[in-house]
Amino acid sequence: MSKPLMIQGTMSNAGKSIVVTGLCRVFYQDGYKVAPFKSQNMSSNSFTTEDGLEMALAQAIQAEAAGLTPSVLMNPILLKPAGNMETQAIVNGQNRGSLAALDYTAYRKSLIPEIMRAYNSLASDFDIVVIEGAGSPAEINLRENDIVNMGLAELTDANVLLVGDIDPGGVFAQLVGTLVLLEEQERARVKGLIINKFRGDFELLKPGLRMLEERAQKPVVGTLPYLDIDIEDEDSLSARTKHRDSEPSSQQAEAGSPDYQQAQYNILAAAIREHLDMEFIYSLLDLPNKNQ
């Protein structure tokens, strides 16, 4: 059974998906069998697998970065907003109908066996499973019956790295505040912090990192810069996996080509290697860093 690593964020768009994508690529480059996993994703952007099942686009992209064919095992629950406070529930790639928000809150606990079946299947076949959380683990009003953040970390016994977005400001408050709102046993699962989307002089940031480590009592595993990479959208991924009737422009064809996208994953992986402490991350997995 593989050892999982979970990436959680202080908020939506903190950079969880891109960090998971980059780590999947690094582990793949280092010769490990790695799979992404997100128990529940709420998104209008979906991907249809080769066997006609529906899953979140983000996990399809992460699978491609890991050298894999996307599978609904990587995203057993997809929630698609349907309007009028309702959500379309896609479970194991199949539509189970629409639910009101409150109905789903009660329903989601019953989905834990489906989630764990999918996760355990991946864990038995891969060396590493990189799990992505959703939103923030500090949304304390949603803690009961949580199946996507700390609740899932407990179910899978995963170590957690917490990502904060420095670009809008307030990253130190994001990270420390999130840790303060966690329960003690949840806080213990957080093994390190990642600052994402940094622009500017790193020397000016260093005093803040030292104070952050003192306040949080957690190491800063790295600071990722604001990256100029082109990790594709739904259309360009689909264009590489199924026939399109219309002819793409030359620019679209280049951006949607396998070579172009593989190069983007490699650029992301290089940034992960340069700016994150991969030796520390491998220690969380009890695996050797084959790139040393």
Query: Is 183 part of any domain?
Result: yes
Residues 6+ apart with CB under 8 A from 243: none
Residues 6+ apart with CB under 8 A from 171: 10, 164, 165, 195
Query: Is 95 part of any domain?
Result: no
Name the token pair of 29.
């480059």
In this prediction, residue 135 carries a pLDDT of 93
Query: Is 222 part of any domain?
Result: yes
Query: Is 60 part of any domain?
Result: no
CB atoms within 10 A of CB 86: 16
**Alpha carbon distance 268, 260 (integer Å):** 13
Q: Which domain holds residue 227?
A: 3-40+112-284
Q: Are strands 86-91 and 77-83 parallel, antiparallel or unpaired?
A: antiparallel
Number of folded domains that form the chain: 1
Query: Is 150 part of any domain?
Result: yes
User: Does the reported pTM lie above 0.85?
Assistant: yes
Q: What's the distance, Cα to Cα, between the start and end of the chain in Å?
A: 24
Query: Is 233 part of any domain?
Result: yes
Residue pLDDT, tens place only, 59-116 = 999 999 999 999 999 999 999 988 777 888 899 999 988 877 657 777 888 899 999 9
Here the CATH number for the domain that contains residue 217 is 3.40.50.300
In this prediction, residue 82 carries a pLDDT of 80
Name the token pair of 63.
């699978």
**Alpha carbon distance 74, 20 (integer Å):** 12
Query: Is 28 part of any domain?
Result: yes
In this prediction, residue 25 carries a pLDDT of 98
**Alpha carbon distance 77, 93 (integer Å):** 8
**Alpha carbon distance 80, 62 (integer Å):** 19
In this prediction, the residues of the chain whose per-residue pLDDT falls under 50 are 233-253
Name the token pair of 222.
């790295």
The DSSP string of 117-157 is HHHHHHHHH-SEEEEE--S-TT-GGG-TT--SSHHHHHHHT
Query: Is 52 part of any domain?
Result: no
* Cα dihedral 94, 96, 98, 99 sign: negative
